[in-house]
């Protein structure tokens, strides 16, 4: 995340390298039901970042020792496809992918009603098809949509976005250039309908005032992203209703 800057990321007009204002997110696209063999699935795009999430279950685990008598176990696997970055990556899971799998699972556990499905597992597979910054928060958003598409009961929908600091300026929804050359990165996920923050991380150094301002920027964006999730789900069920 720290690195030498080869160019200014904020120009004299206050615009970012891709023309966005500091408080502007990239175009977001969503689609559910994209995989026929999954219980639920979603494709989410934050600009050039493309993330696919597939949910399987609830189902009985093959390993009986994993069974919990009072709730389902939520399992998450975050993986970056070998072709997702400019340089081909190893298909084997990296330490970062294992860590982010845990981070995303913890960001979802507070909203999934696992008590509805005791003695089962719910698997979430996240595949980053194209990486251009913000893959963990896009993965959380895609997972939330895929869980809803699978009919898994949740207290609320979750979405995420990352705030960064580049050239001393707080910016919303950082891309890869800003993430790699910026001074700080703050991924945040939340369930606005519950007034609940489910993920809060900081990489780099921010002042207390910057943290508060960045959090406010993120929560406003998350409110909008969740509204897109609801609209996407509504469109699917309206289409099903029309077919019936």
Sign of the torsion angle spanned by Cα atoms 42, 46, 50, 53: negative
Distance CA 224, CA 212 (A): 19
Give the side-chain half-sphere CA count within 13 A for 213. Answer: 13
Helix (H) or strand (E) holding 149: helix 135-149
Query: Which fold does the domain 28-243 belong to in CATH?
Result: Ribosomal Protein S5; domain 2 (3.30.230)
Q: In terms of residues, how long is the chain? A: 244
What pLDDT is recorded for position 83? 83
Alpha carbon 79 to its chain centroid, in Å, reads 13
At 30-68, the pLDDT tens digits run: 999 999 999 999 999 999 999 999 999 999 887 777 788
Do residues 35 and 123 lie in contact, with contact meaning Cβ atoms separated by under 8 Å?
no
Distance CA 221, CA 217 (A): 6
At 93-108, the pLDDT tens digits run: 789 999 999 999 999 9
Distance CA 103, CA 44 (A): 18
Phi-psi bin for 239: left (phi > 0), alpha (psi -120 to 50), beta?
A: alpha
Please name which of 33, 28, 31 lies closest in space to residue 45, comparing C-alpha atoms: 28
- The two tokens of residue 145 are 């949509």
pTM (predicted TM-score): 0.92
- The two tokens of residue 160 are 């995420």
For the chain, give the mean pLDDT. 92
Please name which of 144, 163, 180 lies closest in space to residue 215, comparing C-alpha atoms: 163
Taking the alpha carbons at both ends of the chain, their separation in whole angstroms is 50
What pLDDT is recorded for position 4? 43
Site of tokens 């996240």: 126
What pLDDT is recorded for position 2? 46
Instruction: Give the three-state DSSP class for 4.
Output: coil
At 113-158, the pLDDT tens digits run: 999 999 999 999 999 999 999 999 999 999 999 999 999 999 999 9
Is pLDDT of 88 > 70? no
Instruction: Give the three-state DSSP class for 188.
Output: strand
Do residues 170 and 221 lie in contact, with contact meaning Cβ atoms separated by under 8 Å?
no
What pLDDT is recorded for position 243? 67
């Amino acid at each position: 995340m720290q690195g030498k800057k080869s160019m200014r990321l904020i120009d004299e007009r206050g615009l970012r390298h891709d023309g966005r204002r500091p408080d502007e997110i990239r175009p977001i696209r969503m689609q559910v039901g994209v995989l026929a063999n999954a219980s639920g699935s979603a494709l989410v795009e934050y600009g050039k970042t493309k993330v696919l999430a597939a949910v399987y279950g609830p189902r009985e685990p093959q390993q009986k020792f994993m069974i919990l008598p009072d709730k389902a176990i939520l399992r998450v696997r975050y993986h970056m496809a070998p072709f997702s970055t400019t340089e081909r990556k190893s298909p084997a899971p990296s330490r970062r992918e294992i860590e982010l799998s845990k981070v995303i699972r913890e960001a979802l556990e507070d909203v999934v009603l696992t008590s509805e499905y005791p003695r089962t597992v719910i698997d979430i597979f996240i595949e980053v098809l194209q990486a251009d910054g913000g893959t963990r928060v896009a993965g959380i958003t895609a997972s939330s949509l895929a869980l809803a598409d699978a009919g898994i009961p949740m207290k609320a929908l979750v979405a995420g976005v990352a705030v960064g600091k580049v050239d001393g300026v707080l910016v919303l929804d950082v891309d890869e250039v800003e993430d790699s050359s910026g001074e700080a990165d703050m991924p945040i996920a939340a369930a606005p309908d519950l007034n609940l923050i489910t993920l809060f991380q900081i990489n780099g150094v921010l002042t207390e005032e910057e943290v508060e301002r960045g959090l406010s920027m993120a929560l406003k964006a998350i409110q909008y992203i969740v509204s897109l999730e609801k609209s996407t789900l509504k469109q699917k069920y309206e289409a099903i209703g029309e077919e019936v």
